[in-house]
């Protein structure tokens, strides 16, 4: 499996699957699994169609959210970490990274005074360095940690993009399961058990989407990705 496949599956399809899962559980409660039943076949088709829509929606909303997140965080993590005034990185480590970047990129790195006098120009240079590092770390075999952190960040960012639709889907699915259990005909112990499991699982997912999927949850993975990306500065100039 190449890196594109890994990213698509884990960063784009998994958020869509988690968002669509309550709807799938509701379909199981409404249409008990019987492959000869065209209603069940139709339900499966609807589920996969919903997955495709959510995958596209999560990717698009995730990309649109990213500039807003960077604004809240006072810049992209790689840009923020390279600033002289930022204390996330050890000063000696930052100095080593900036020297390596200055040698690898035909561009002068901003000094602390230049950063204060013209912060926009300094950030533009740091952003260019981030683009340079992302372009040279795309090979999974050469930079497995960077790739893994990037996939994790993409997953969390796209989950945040799907947060609102996922909450609505989860709440609607729980309502459907509850109504089916209360008002449905031909209630059997097995159908009650299935409805209970589906309702509980949907409830847990709803709590996860509501409580866990937040900007700070995305920020922690973005910062981890930035640290792994900047650490590759020590390999600049090496064969």
Q: Tell me if 159 is assigned to some domain.
A: yes
Q: Tens of pLDDT along the chain (239 residues)?
A: 454 467 778 888 888 888 888 887 787 777 665 545 555 555 566 666 667 777 877 888 888 999 999 999 999 999 999 999 999 999 999 999 999 999 999 889 999 999 999 999 999 999 999 999 999 998 888 899 999 999 999 999 999 999 999 999 889 888 888 887 776 655 555 667 777 777 888 889 999 999 999 999 999 999 999 999 999 999 887 65
Tokens, residue 174? 């729980």
Question: Which candidate, 36, 25, 235, places its Cα nearest to that of 139?
Answer: 235
For the chain, the domain total comes to 1
Q: Tell me if 174 is assigned to some domain.
A: yes
Q: Tell me if 114 is assigned to some domain.
A: yes
Q: How far apart are CA 109 and CA 96, in angstroms?
A: 12
Contacts of 127 (CB under 8 A, 6+ apart): 76, 78, 79
Q: How far apart are CA 239 and CA 220, in angstroms?
A: 32
Domain holding 53, by residue range, is 3-234
Q: Tell me if 25 is assigned to some domain.
A: yes
SS3 state of residue 91: helix
pLDDT at 35: 47
Q: Tell me if 193 is assigned to some domain.
A: yes
Q: Tell me if 239 is assigned to some domain.
A: no
Q: Which segments of the chain does DSSP mark as H helices, in order?
A: 3-7, 14-30, 38-72, 77-82, 91-104, 112-117, 119-136, 144-183, 189-207, 215-231
Q: Tell me if 157 is assigned to some domain.
A: yes
Q: Tell me if 173 is assigned to some domain.
A: yes
Yes or no: say if 135 and 105 are a contact pair by the CB < 8 Å rule: no
pLDDT at 180: 74
pLDDT at 19: 87
pLDDT at 211: 95
CA distances to 73, 138, 195, 237 from 7, rounded to whole Å, are: 24, 11, 34, 28
Yes or no: say if 198 and 28 are a contact pair by the CB < 8 Å rule: yes
Q: How far apart are CA 230 and CA 95, in angstroms?
A: 12
Q: How far apart are CA 169 and CA 223, in angstroms?
A: 30
Cβ-in-10-Å burial (0-12, 13-18, 19+) of 32 comes to: middle
């Amino acid at each position: 499996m190449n890196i594109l496949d890994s990213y698509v599956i884990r960063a784009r399809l998994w958020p869509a699957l988690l968002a669509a899962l309550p709807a799938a559980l509701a379909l199981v409660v409404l249409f008990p699994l019987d492959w000869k039943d065209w209603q069940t076949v139709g339900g499966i088709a609807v589920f996969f169609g919903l997955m495709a829509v959510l995958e596209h929606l999560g990717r698009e909303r995730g990309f649109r959210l990213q500039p807003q997140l960077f604004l809240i965080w006072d810049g992209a993590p790689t840009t923020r970490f390279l600033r002289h005034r930022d204390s996330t990185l050890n000063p000696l480590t930052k100095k080593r990274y900036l020297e390596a970047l200055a040698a690898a990129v035909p561009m002068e790195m901003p000094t602390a005074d230049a950063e204060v006098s013209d912060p926009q120009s300094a950030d533009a240079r740091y952003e260019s360095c981030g683009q340079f590092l992302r372009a040279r770390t795309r090979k999974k075999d050469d930079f497995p940690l960077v790739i893994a952190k990037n996939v994790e960040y993409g997953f969390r960012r796209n989950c945040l993009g799907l947060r609102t639709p996922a909450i609505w889907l989860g709440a609607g699915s729980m309502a459907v399961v509850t109504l089916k259990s209360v008002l449905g005909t031909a209630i059997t112990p097995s159908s009650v058990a299935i409805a209970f499991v589906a309702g509980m699982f949907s409830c847990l997912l709803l709590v996860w989407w509501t409580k866990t999927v937040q900007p700070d949850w995305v920020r922690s993975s973005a910062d981890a990705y930035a640290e792994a990306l900047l650490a590759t500065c020590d390999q600049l100039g090496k064969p």
